[in-house]
Amino acid sequence: MTDSALSPAIALALILTAPLFGALAAMVTGRRGAGIALATMTATGIGIVTLLVIIAGDGDFTLAIGGWEPPLGIQLRADGLAAGFITTTALVMGAILAVAGKPFGAGATERRGAYTFWPLALLLWGALNAIFLSGDLFNLYVGLELLTLVAVALVGIEGKRETLAAALRYMMFALMGSLLYLLGAALLYAAHGTLDIALLAARVGNAPGDIVAAAAITAGLAAKTALFPFHSWLPPAHSGAPAPASAMLSGLVPKASFYILLRFWFEAAPDIAGTGVLTLLGGLGALAMIYGSLLALHQNRLKLIIAYSTVAQLGYLFFVFPLAGGTSAAQPWAAGAWSGAVFHALSHAMAKASMFLCAGLIIEAIGHDRLPGMKGIVRAMPMTVFAFALAAITLMGLPPSGGFTAKYLMMTASFAAGQPFWALMLIVAGLLAAAYLYRPLALAFALPDADAPVPGAVSRARQAAPLVLALAAILLGILSAGPFAFIRIGRPGAAVEGLE
């Protein structure tokens, strides 16, 4: 531990409470939410920097709330994985809040958005931080429910008929996922008297009740992550929401439920899954990749292309389970698969949020996101188109991006494990991503129609925000050694050794 025994507690307190107090303040101040968001980012940023310094110097640590140790109390845990997700979330939220100066249209929608967007965005940020720092399945459930409620509100924030329908559909899937997750948690508590992940690791076995609980938790979290075939809520929800909300919903929200899946299968119940279950999760990920990519190819709206791309890209994450799951013992290929999945989650969060922000700025300039109307937009918005292109490089998995590092690690693990099918799927996924992302880029550089209206002006300061995110996703690959070593701090035993 560091010289100051209070610094870990202060760091965690700032990270957890600053967004929540910011949300309350934004509710009171209304249209002055932007100033509250800036103060929140400053306070949270101080906590994150402190946390990074502590973990880099002293390693992972735990903190029992109120001094009550599990199973009586709730314990927070901070390690390289948690800090990586918290830092990425802060970077993405900073860019989103910078662009969100004009996230809504005029009239009543603008007034409603001005009063509700800032509190909802900060509440979502607080829920994400609570999930990434929790070491207890029930505490994770509370954070997940807060996240879901805020996300549903963001989907329907404009009050349009189609967005309200999308929000209701999302809520139904989320409710189903929540009930399944809560059922699994209740079964584990009844059998073992605790929901602390560290304590469950020594108690969960292959008893029928444990298997049913694991299946319920996995199914519930898969629905919240929009894994195929639970994906149908995602495209209308993400494409119909305002661009800043879409960036949060696509870049950050699904990562929370996947993060819990990682914690559960690699730390709480590493030995419970058989080969069939793990292969099923990977197979559903492969189907999501193919299905989402093919549908993205047939869309004529930019936000729908990005939304269906999310369905495909989230599928890659589930390749980690057949490649690295199924045993608490280290395997020669597990470390690379685990690290590759984490790299993909982080780089996808930044690149996909950047894409949705770019789409929002283009809509602001030309009034819509239909592909034919985007011809020649690069002349009016070169910075935005450049950011979109950099984000596309990451999603295609091309060097030197973080997406390339992720795919390289997972493909290496696939061949080392004697399972080349997953490597083949990653190659196919990259080709399909290139195909559906080429279309908007080609139109952006095409000659505009003679009768095309002149795009409206968008400030360069707001165009810089998605560019920063896209560059960060590229730098994650170029400077991968540092993040790669950092996320390994405190990782589970099944991902400690092997090819990397």
- Spacing of C-alpha 183 from chain mean position: 24
DSSP letters spanning 138-199: HHHHHHHHHHHHHHHHHHTTT--HHHHHHHHHHHHHHHHHHHHHHHHHHHHHHHHS--BHHH
Q: Which helix (H) or strand (E) holds 449?
A: none
Cis peptide preceding 492, ω within 30 of 0: no
- Whole-number Å distance between alpha carbons of 51 and 277: 36
pLDDT of residue 114: 59
Please check whether residue 448 lies inside any domain of the structure: yes
Please check whether residue 299 lies inside any domain of the structure: yes
Three-state SS for 14?
Answer: helix
How does pLDDT run across 65-76, given as a tens digit for each residue? 877 777 777 889
- Whole-number Å distance between alpha carbons of 180 and 255: 18
Stretch 470-495: mean pLDDT, rounded? Answer: 85
CB 309 within 8 A of CB 352: yes
Domain count, the chain: 1
SS3 sequence, 84-104?
A: HHHHHHHHHHHHHHHHCCCCC
- Whole-number Å distance between alpha carbons of 139 and 129: 12
pLDDT at 26 over 50: yes
Stretch 159-178: mean pLDDT, rounded? Answer: 86
Please check whether residue 55 lies inside any domain of the structure: no
Quick one: what percent of the chain has pLDDT higher than 70?
91
Compute φ and ψ for 203, nearest 5 degrees: -120, -30
Please check whether residue 278 lies inside any domain of the structure: no
How does pLDDT run across 327-376, given as a tens digit for each residue? 544 454 567 788 889 999 999 999 999 999 999 899 888 888 888 888 88
pTM, entire model: 0.91
Please check whether residue 21 lies inside any domain of the structure: no
Please check whether residue 426 lies inside any domain of the structure: yes
pLDDT of residue 480: 87
Q: List the domain range (segments joined by +) for residue 486.
A: 295-500
Query: What's the angle, vertex CA 243, arms to CA 119 and CA 148, rounded to 5?
Result: 50
Compute φ and ψ for 444, nearest 5 degrees: -60, -30
Please check whether residue 455 lies inside any domain of the structure: yes
- Whole-number Å distance between alpha carbons of 214 and 325: 14
Mean pLDDT lowest among 52-56, 153-157, 286-290: 153-157
User: Which residues neighbour 290 within 8 Å (Cβ) at sequence distance 6 or greater?
Assistant: 312, 428, 432
The per-residue b/e assignment along 348-368, b for 16 or more CB within 10 angstroms, e otherwise, is bbbbbbbbbbbbbbbbbbbee
Q: Which residue has the tokens 């002055």?
A: 32
In whole angstroms, how far apart are CA 31 and each of 13, 23, 35? 27, 13, 9
Mean pLDDT lowest among 240-244, 359-363, 401-405, 437-441: 240-244
What is the residue-averaged pLDDT of the chain? Answer: 85
Which conformational region is residue 65 in: left (phi greater than 0), alpha (psi within -120 to 50 degrees), or beta? beta
pLDDT at 110 over 70: no
CB 428 within 8 A of CB 391: no
pLDDT at 106 over 80: no
Q: How confident is the model at residue 122 (pLDDT cuts 50, 70, 90)?
A: very high
Side chain identity, residue 439 = R
CB 58 within 8 A of CB 11: no
pLDDT of residue 109: 38
Please check whether residue 80 lies inside any domain of the structure: no
- Whole-number Å distance between alpha carbons of 469 and 472: 5
pLDDT of residue 107: 34
Reported residue count of the chain is 500
Side chain identity, residue 205 = G
Bridge partners for 62 per DSSP? 77
Q: How confident is the model at residue 500 (pLDDT cuts 50, 70, 90)?
A: very low
